[in-house]
Amino acid sequence: MSEVRRFVVTPTDDPAAVLVRLADELSLRAASSTVVERTFLDTADGRLDAAGVVLELRHPVDGSGSASLVWTEDGRTVATHQLALPEAPRFVADLPAWPAADRLAGLMEMRALVPGPTITTRLTVLAALDREEKTTARVVVDTSVLRNGDDLPMLVELHELRGYGREADRLEKRLRAALVLEPFTGSVAAAARAASGAPAFLPSKLRLALHPTAPAAEAWRTVLRALTDTMTANFAGTIADTDSEFLHDFRVAVRRTRSVLQEGRKVLPPERRDEFRAGFKWLGDITTPQRDADVHLLDYPGLLASVPAERAAALEPLRELLVERQRECHGQLVADLRSMRRAQLGRDWAEFLAGDGAWPADDGGEPGSDAPDSLRPAVVVAAERIHKAHTRLVRDGRTIDDGSEPVALHDLRKDAKRLRYLLECFGSLFPASDVATAVKPLKALQDTLGTFQDTEVQAHALEDMAVQLVERGAPAATLLALGAVIEGVHARGAAARVEFAQRFAAFDSHTVTKAYERLSEDAEELS
Amino acid sequence: MKVLATYNIKGGVGKTATAVNLAYEAASRGNRVLVWDLDPQGAATFYFRIRPKVKGGGKAIVSGRRDLDEVIKASDYDNLDVVPADFSMRNLDLMIEGSKKPLATLRRVLRSVAKEYDLVFLDCPPSISLASESVFRAADALLVPVIPTTLSIRTFEQLDRFVEENPEVVKDLDVIGFFSMVDRRKRLHRELLVELRAARPDLLDELIPAVTDVERMGVHRQPVTAFSPGSRAARSYAALWDEISARL
Ligand SMILES: Nc1ncnc2c1ncn2[C@@H]1O[C@H](COP(=O)(O)OP(=O)(O)O)[C@@H](O)[C@H]1O
Ligand SMILES: [Mg+2]
């Protein structure tokens, strides 16, 4: 691929004058000049931006020609597509059949593209030609205005053509002599976002920097606030059902909040803690039906792929049932999220998290008087909780053998989650590398436990749906195909069950135990 | 990466016009395309206004001393690059004969750019020889323009027979024939079209008519769709590409 060398023109002269200079002094030939309205697309968490991908919808402003979808990276055009309707794609399935579309699909996964800032750009293309009138390099001058009328810095791109590197070098020298240029390394999309004051992308991970020696109450408060921010950031997308990740991230924040409350024994005043544990349990519970329905829909393409192609069409009634279910669940969820009860919980919680230091006691007494751990160093309290959770996971895991009931593995998954949440929420109290060493084998164990339980739940749900489909008079072919699907799900579950022993043994090893002991030692050293 | 070779033992049947115009069509649909001009006459190179010269000569490429990568030139069009012709390529046969595994030569050379391109068009000189066999090995499909004359159809059949009789050379090679330079005003063309279609039902449905726009490519030095979009020729090449790409 040929390189694009990008520059900002400083200070921005009159754009028209710049163009005339380029044409006259550098004898570049004007190839085209168009004015386009550009709307940048990205997922709510900025996955394209993070990968250096710019995807935009372009409308020619003079109404000539159709809208197109343009994919660039570092100024290079990766792919373009003329749109029959000026509608932006939302999901992976809506992307054009670009040969490289898989790369975008891999970045987006289940996320929807949402429109970001819109700018209007005059794109002027100038060509350097050789004696045969063959283009040897292109210069693209890009002058953009934001919706509010503000100008973005003027950009000059030198598009090197493959096999014509020397010509590009020569032209760059002459460009630099003619104009004052600074290298530009960002993207126009990012520049437009920054200049238009567009909201920041949703963070995909909890990013905390807790102080090891600060009182535990402060660390707990900081974590709970960050989780509340995540819930708030994902609230509108959950209500609008923009994509399934908003609800997913909302739920993860709720579950982490519950876990941090649970681990907050002796850090938070006991009655308030109980009150909020109940509150967030309810909030978690009301989101479960839609999440289950979302998961079925997300799994559907995989299920489809697991049956022979000639049977796939027979599964259509199942898909319709899943879609209908998801819509019902979403309607209910929206009602619950807009209820008085939810609003009250939000207000109480915000009030509880306001302020700093330890919380006043339930009876209004001295802060910390009914929460003896609240003023101890955060790292010490967190290390104790991690130690306890680790010990319990190992103890319970050792009682499981090939004959154990599935419920034993489900319970073990809860133990594992508890430990994982502790490490995620309080990990920044410890040296990062020690946390990473502790998390890695835990993650592997969780993956297996997760697959095992998810397949059980999925098989169960599909069996339920089979009954419903029978009641609706679905054709036998549908039920046969569904039978094959369920069989496949059971097989995956069985494989995970076999894998468990090995994964647990790896977790219950000397090295991993040492990694967890290391965290307690860290706590001692840091406090 | 799929490799397509425009091929016919005869010259002047539209091989180069096909390679250039289909490559342009495929590139404009978002495929990353490379045209390799294997004909020392350099007609494809000329249409792209590129100098017919390869750094170090074609021999350096065939021998593996120089990577194909180093001699590729961008065309004036997005997604479309060219390996220019080189006069030394008139000795392609000799060069290939002299290399270690003569039949695998082109395939090996192309492997180095497999990640960069979705499609390669090899524009072949007319002849059947060791070089052609190396082309057959490297290609996934041969695109064979056939002028509706009794003689052309006979050469097409010869090619078919060669492919059948030499399975060791042409594993999985798809031979795609289509009518080229068809002049419907000529009664002979019309009659032969019907007759030959009956004899060779595997020929593509789409055909390329004989039109002056294609001849004018030499004046414009551009693919026909670039200077005459929407013309009959442009539409024919687009439809031909629809049919070929569906078959790949
Ligand atoms: N469809 C067509 N209509 C009219 N002229 C054509 C057509 N295809 C090719 N030609 C002309 O015929 C001549 C030979 O075509 P070319 O593509 O170079 O054939 P080849 O590569 O098989 O030798 C060229 O002058 C070209 O302009
Ligand atoms: Mg030719």
Within this chain, do residues A401 and A302 fall inside the same structural domain, yes or no?
Answer: yes
C-beta separation of A150 from A195 below 8 A: yes
Ligand 1 pocket, residue B223 CB under 6 Å: no
Yes or no: say if A523 and A383 are a contact pair by the CB < 8 Å rule: yes
Same domain, A306 and A370: yes
Per the CB < 8 A criterion, the answer to whether A70 and A93 are in contact is no
Between chains, do A163 and B72 touch, taking CB under 8 Å as contact?
yes
- Check if the beta carbon of residue A243 is closer than 8 Å to that of residue A114: no
Q: How far apart are CA A384 and CA A387, in angstroms?
A: 5
pLDDT at B152: 81
* Mean pLDDT computed over B27-47: 93
pLDDT at B163: 83
Our answer on whether the CB atom of B14 is closer than 6 Å to any ligand 1 atom is yes
Q: Residues 131 to 160 of A: which have CB under 8 A from any B CB?
A: 132-135
A192 with A220, same domain: the answer is no
Is A204 among the domain residues? Answer: no
Q: What distance in angstroms lies between residue B83's CA and the mean position of ligand 1's atoms?
A: 20
| Phi, psi torsion values for B231, nearest 5 degrees | -70, 170
> In terms of residue numbers, what domain contains B80?
2-247
Q: Do strands A76-82 and A68-73 pair parallel, antiparallel, or not at all (unpaired)?
A: antiparallel
d(CA A437, CA A511): 10
Picking from A135, A168, A196, the residue at the C-terminal end of a domain is A196
Reading the block at residue A217, the tokens are 């109450």
For ligand 1, whether the C-beta of B167 sits within 6 Å is: no
Phi, psi (deg, nearest 5) at residue A353:
-85, -15
DSSP track, A467-489: HHHHHTT--HHHHHHHHHHHHHH
Residue A210 lies in a domain: no
Stretch (H or E) spanning A71: strand A68-73
B59-115: pLDDT as tens digits: 888 888 888 999 999 999 989 999 999 887 777 777 777 777 777 888 999 999 999
pLDDT, mean of residues B132-145: 91
Q: What is the pLDDT of residues B197-244, one digit of tens each?
A: 888 888 999 999 999 999 999 999 999 999 999 999 999 999 999 999
The answer to whether B49 contacts chain A (CB < 8 Å) is: yes
pLDDT, residue B102, reads 74
- If we measure between CA atoms, which residue out of A352, A187, A78 comes closest to residue B78? A78
**CB contact set of B69 (below 8 Å; sequence gap of 6+):** B112, B113
Q: What are phi and psi of A138, to 5 degrees?
A: -125, 145
CA distance A238 to A247: 5
Q: Where are the alpha helices (DSSP H) in A307-315?
A: 309-312
Say how many domains are in chain B: 1
- Whether the CB of B69 is below 8 Å from some CB of chain A: the reply is no
The reply to whether B123 touches chain A by the CB within 8 Å rule is: no
Residue A81, chain B, CB below 8 Å: the answer is yes
In which band, very low, low, confident or very high, does the pLDDT at B9 lie, cut at 50, 70 and 90?
confident
Q: Is the pLDDT of residue A1 over 70?
A: no
Kindly report the CATH number assigned to the domain that includes residue B104. Answer: 3.40.50.300
Tell how strand B2-6 and strand B141-146 pair up.
parallel
Does the CB of B72 have a partner CB in chain A at under 8 Å? yes
Q: How far is B171 from chain A (nearest CA, A)?
A: 26
Distance CA A135, CA A113 (A): 36
Residues A438, A482: one domain?
Answer: yes
| Element housing B241 (H / E) | helix B232-247
Indicate if A118 and A246 belong to the same structural domain.
no
**Which residue, chain included where needed, has tokens 């059947």?**
B128
Report DSSP letters for A28-42, one per residue: PEEEEEEEEEEEEEE
Q: Which of A146, A165, A196 is the last residue of a domain?
A: A196
Taking a C-beta distance cutoff of 8 angstroms, is the pair A381, A267 a contact?
Answer: yes
Nearest ligand 1 atom, CA B13: 22
In a shared domain, residues A355 and A425: yes
| Residue A136 pLDDT exceeds 70 | yes
| A233 shares a domain with A190 | no
Tell whether A70 is covered by a domain. yes
Count Cα atoms within 13 angstroms, Cβ side, for A430.
Answer: 30
d(CA A525, CA A315): 60
Amino acid at B216: R
Q: Please check whether residues A175 and A251 belong to one and the same domain.
A: no
pLDDT reported for residue B25: 97
Same domain, A480 and A448: yes
Q: In chain A, how many domains are there? A: 2
Q: Where among A149, A166, A196 does a domain terminate? A: A196
Report ipTM (2 d.p.): 0.90
- pLDDT given at position A13: 62
| pLDDT tens column, A243-301 | 999 999 999 999 999 999 999 999 999 999 999 999 999 999 999 999 999 999 998 98
The per-residue DSSP string of A241-297 comes to T--HHHHHHHHHHHHHHHHHHHTTTTTS-HHHHHHHHHHHHHHHHHHHHHHHHHHHH
Answer for the pair B37, B71: CB distance below 8 angstroms, yes or no.
Answer: no
**Above pLDDT 70, what percent of chain B?**
99
Peptide bond into A11 cis (omega under 30): yes
B214 Cβ below 6 A of ligand 1: yes
3-class secondary-structure state, position A517: helix
Would you say residue A211 lies in a domain? no
* Residue-wise pLDDT tens digits, A207-256: 899 999 999 999 999 999 999 999 999 999 999 999 999 999 999 999 99
Q: CB under 8 Å to A95, separation ≥6 — which residues?
A: A89, A101, A104, A105
Instruction: Tell me if residue A356 falls in helix, strand or coil.
Output: coil
In the block, tokens 């007494």 appear at A365
Is A208 contained in some domain?
no
Structure tokens at B223: 């693919």
Indicate whether A420 and A448 sit together in one domain.
Answer: yes
For residue A17, tell me if it sits in a domain: yes
Q: What's the CATH number where A88 sits? A: 2.40.320.10
CA distance A462 to A468: 10
Domain holding A334: CATH number? 1.40.20.10
pLDDT tens, position by position, A423-459: 999 999 999 999 999 999 999 999 999 999 999 988 9
Full domain range(s) for residue A13: 3-196
Cα A390 to Cα A343: distance, rounded to the nearest angstrom:
36
Q: How far apart are CA A395 and CA A400, in angstroms?
A: 10
Same domain, residue pair A276 and A421: yes
> What's the average model confidence in pLDDT over A68-74?
94
Residues A138 and A225 in one domain: no
CA atoms within 13 A on the CB side of A504: 22
Instruction: Report whether A378 contacts A212 (CB < 8 A).
Output: yes
- Retrieve residue B146's tokens: 């056939």
Task: Determine whether A302 is exposed, middle or buried from the number of CB atoms within 10 Å of its CB (0-12, 13-18, 19+).
Answer: exposed
**CB-CB neighbors (< 8 A) of B226 in chain A:** none
Contacting residues for A322 by C-beta, under 8 A, at least 6 apart: A293, A296, A297, A300, A465
Q: Compute the Cα dihedral for A467, A471, A475, A476 and give only its sign.
A: positive
Question: What are B199's two structure tokens?
Answer: 């004899």
